[in-house]
Amino acid sequence: MPPAGIWIDGLIQSCAYMTMAFGMVLVFSILGILNWTHGQFYMLGAFVVYYAITAVGIPFPLGLLAAGVLVAGLSILVKKIIIDHITGDLYVGVATMGLIFFFEGAASMIFGMQDKGLARVLPGVVDLGSFSVSYQKIAVVSFTLVIMIILFIMLNFTRIGLAIRATAQQPDAASLYGVSVERLSLTVMGIGCGLAAMAGGIIAPLYTINPFIGGIPMIMSLLAIVIGGLGSLTGAIVGGLILGFLNSVVAYHLSYLSEVVLFMLVVIILLVRPQGLFGASVK
Amino acid sequence: MMTYIDYKDVVPKAVIGLVVLLILLVPIITTNESTLSILILSGIWAIAVMGFTLVLRTGQFSLGQAAFMAIGGYTSAILTAQMGWSFWPAFLLAGLVSGLAAFLVGMVVLRVGGIYFSIITLSLCEVIRIVAQQWESVTRGARGLITAQPNPIPLGFFEINFFSSTVPYFYLTVCLVAFTALVFWRIGESRLGRSFAGVALNPVLAEHQGMYLMKYRVIAFTVAGVFTGLAGSLYAHFLTVLTPTMLGLWQSIQILIMSIVGGIGSLVGGPIIGSILLYTFGSYLTRLDIYGIQQLLFGAVVVLVLLFLPKGTGLVDLWGRFWTKVIWREKEFEMDEAEE
């Protein structure tokens, strides 16, 4: 058994991947596209929090909120200006891949290439006998839990949640029943990318920040939603959990081989069950 | 969906011939090493992009083409650097090994199509990179393999010397690009190429017509693998060093961006135009002093091309439009009229 610290690191990574994967699945189920820029929204969220604390001097929770709102606005702009004007899912996907370069370049120009570190916003640790957990890590986990619960309530018990679920199943029928699919997809794009930004923001004090931190969470959450089943929200959460723990726990035992194990596991899962663990059967 | 336009009716052959002649004469016009190496590298990318476009024509979106370049590159690099082979057999074997790898992977992976195929090829690409990074005894890990240059070829009074200048590499690349283009063009014209398009456009109908989908997908993937492997080998030998990070996921994404921006309507023209323009653009941008501006502009160009040349018509379509509108002075190019 690896020490508890490794499991906690796994949990922290799972939280980030889960939040991002959840947003990606939301966007995918309504817009029908894979948003490859999700990792860059994560990176921008981390930067917004960094500058909110160091330059503007507002408290961490408000900075987090600002990250979510600003990036959500940015993603809605992206949707309005670019995604709406490109036809074909394939080409929208490629355009979002182009946006990866755009945002990374813009971030390096504006924020600089060097690593930035944010001091622990919540100092102090909880001593649990043989190991200790910092408040910052507890904050990440509890924040993710709260977000998940809010999203669960929103999707299952509110009118907008009903509209989202209906549109994911049958866009045409939903629009016949008075759902404005256009407005809904803007909302969902905002929520999904805002989630990515908040994931980046909440985790920002734990890791270094630079314009290229978005890549790995992006790949991981992409793998998470694919092994969980494309379009399945439960699948996104479970996939995020699996990959987060694999990434740290297997890495403890196998060091560099862990990534090979991880990718091979993804390949095997997809070959055996192409629709993913929780996906509906394809065709 | 995709429309396949044949520009050989639109653009006069003389113009294409003139362009090819100009490219052949480049080493005489300029011996600037950086210009030549930009052209060589964009030619190498063009081969990989053509492979990607061929796979895309069967409707599969491969995110692992750089992995086959890496397989080819490492095969010939290991054979020449560690086992003392000479360049040419290693170069050919690189194509074979990469093709074999593509065949084996394709037989297993092409069963699951669509986005799942993309994710699996993406994963394989990363696996290859990690293995290359960690298998120190064979690949020397992150330090990279120093590849051997091809031996000089004596031609009587004249000697083709790969050590002294990049000109022999330039002609080698041009030959390889021309050969690849010829093969792919023939495939596109033949019954096989039409079957590829049929498999992509309507798999259900194609299957009901008695076409075995896997067969066509595997053929396209294997052919692409062979040529991508050759390109990878050339890449490794031209740059004289091969490190794992040179051929990873970002390079795969670069290949697919070049393909889509160049235009997927044609198997040959689009990839060549896309890779030459984007690679040249990218390498001129790196000369700018401001950090990050090259990525920003690169991304902006990709998005603008997708916005204004929709549905994968890409830059190659500009070429056709230029001839139909400016030279022929027609308002709209109609496929039927041109065929008459």
Position B29, amino acid: I
> In the predicted model, what is the mean pLDDT of residues B127-149?
77
pLDDT tier at B156, thresholds 50, 70, 90? low
Considering the domain boundaries, does residue B5 fall inside one? no
φ/ψ of A247, rounded to 5, equals -60, -35
> In the predicted model, what is the mean pLDDT of residues A228-239?
83
Inter-chain residue contact A105 with B131, CB threshold 8 Å: no
Confirm if B275 and B296 have CB atoms less than 8 A apart: no
Is B155's pLDDT higher than 70? no
Partners of A101 on chain B (C-beta within 8 Å) are 295-296, 298-299, 302
pLDDT tier at B191, thresholds 50, 70, 90? confident
Q: Which of A65-74, A111-120, B150-159, B251-260 has the lowest mean pLDDT?
A: B150-159
Q: Which of residues 122-141 of B touch A (CB under 8 A)?
A: 122-124, 126-127, 130-131, 133-134
Is B240's pLDDT higher than 90? no
CA gap A230, B92 in Å, rounded: 40
State the nearest Cα–Cα gap between A38 and chain B, in angstroms.
15
Half-sphere exposure for B50 (CA within 13 Å, toward CB): 30
The domain locations on chain A are 12-211
Is A225's pLDDT higher than 50? yes
Confirm if B51 and B225 have CB atoms less than 8 A apart: yes
Q: Which residues contact B149 (CB under 8 A, 6 or more apart)?
A: B87, B162, B163, B237, B240
Q: Give chain A's radius of gyration (CA, Å).
A: 19
Structural domain count of chain B: 1
Facing residue for A108 by CB, picked from B291, B297, B302 = B291
How much is the pLDDT for A214? 83
Q: Which of A117-131, B62-76, B79-93 has the lowest mean pLDDT?
A: A117-131
Considering the domain boundaries, does residue B8 fall inside one? no
pLDDT tier at B340, thresholds 50, 70, 90? very low
Interface confidence, given as ipTM, is 0.82
State the nearest Cα–Cα gap between A201 and chain B, in angstroms.
22
Q: Which of A61-65, B92-96, B208-212, B261-265 has the lowest mean pLDDT?
A: B261-265
φ/ψ of B176, rounded to 5, equals -65, -40
How much is the pLDDT for A1? 66
How much is the pLDDT for A72? 92
Q: How far is CA B15 from CA B12, B35, B183, B211, B339, in A?
A: 6, 23, 21, 38, 19
A97 touches chain B (CB under 8 A): yes
State the nearest Cα–Cα gap between B173 and chain A, in angstroms.
28
- Range of B295's domain? 13-339
> In the predicted model, what is the mean pLDDT of residues B195-219?
84
- Residue of chain A minimizing CA distance to B303: A95
Is B332's pLDDT higher than 80? no
Partners of A267 on chain B (C-beta within 8 Å) are 109, 120, 123-124
User: In Å, how far from its chain's centre is CA B98?
Assistant: 14
Is A37's pLDDT higher than 80? yes
How much is the pLDDT for B162? 67
CA gap A259, A262 in Å, rounded: 5
Position B132, amino acid: A
DSSP code at position B268: S
φ/ψ of B131, rounded to 5, equals -60, -45
**pLDDT 10s digits, A40-85:** 999 999 999 888 888 888 888 888 888 899 999 999 999 888 888 8
State the nearest Cα–Cα gap between B115 and chain A, in angstroms.
9
A34 touches chain B (CB under 8 A): yes
B281 touches chain A (CB under 8 A): no
Q: Which of A2-6, B19-23, B231-235 has the highest mean pLDDT?
A: B231-235
Q: Which residues contact B287 (CB under 8 A, 6 or more apart)?
A: none
Positive or negative CA dihedral for A129, A131, A136, A140?
Answer: negative
Is A29's pLDDT higher than 60? yes
Inter-chain residue contact B123 with A223, CB threshold 8 Å: yes
Position B289, amino acid: D
Percentage of chain A exceeding pLDDT 90 = 8
B109 touches chain A (CB under 8 A): yes
Q: How many CB pairs under 8 A join A and B?
A: 130
Q: Which of A123-132, B118-127, B130-139, B281-290 has the lowest mean pLDDT?
A: A123-132
How much is the pLDDT for B1? 41
For chain B, the helix, strand and coil percentages under 3-state DSSP, each to the nearest 5: 70, 5, 25
Considering the domain boundaries, does residue B204 fall inside one? yes
How much is the pLDDT for B330? 56
How much is the pLDDT for B6? 53
Inter-chain residue contact B291 with A101, CB threshold 8 Å: no
For B182-240, strand residue ranges (E) read: none
* More confident site: A176 or B20: A176
How much is the pLDDT for A190? 92
Facing residue for B124 by CB, picked from A107, A219, A267 = A267
Q: Which residues contact B36 (CB under 8 A, 6 or more apart)?
A: B26, B27, B30, B166, B167, B169, B170
Partners of B120 on chain A (C-beta within 8 Å) are 266-267, 270-271
Partners of B293 on chain A (C-beta within 8 Å) are 105, 109
Token duo for residue A6 = 């490794």
Residue B153's DSSP bridge partners are B160
CA gap B167, B221 in Å, rounded: 32
Confirm if A261 and A246 have CB atoms less than 8 A apart: yes
Burial classification of residue A114, based on how many CB atoms lie within 10 Å of its CB (0-12 exposed, 13-18 middle, 19 or more buried): exposed
Facing residue for A99 by CB, picked from B134, B297, B299 = B299
Is B2's pLDDT higher than 60? no
Considering the domain boundaries, does residue B335 fall inside one? yes
Is B266's pLDDT higher than 90? no
Which of B73, B64, B28, B51 has its CA nearest to residue B228?
B51
> In the predicted model, what is the mean pLDDT of residues B98-122?
85
CA gap A152, B136 in Å, rounded: 48
CA gap A44, A51 in Å, rounded: 11
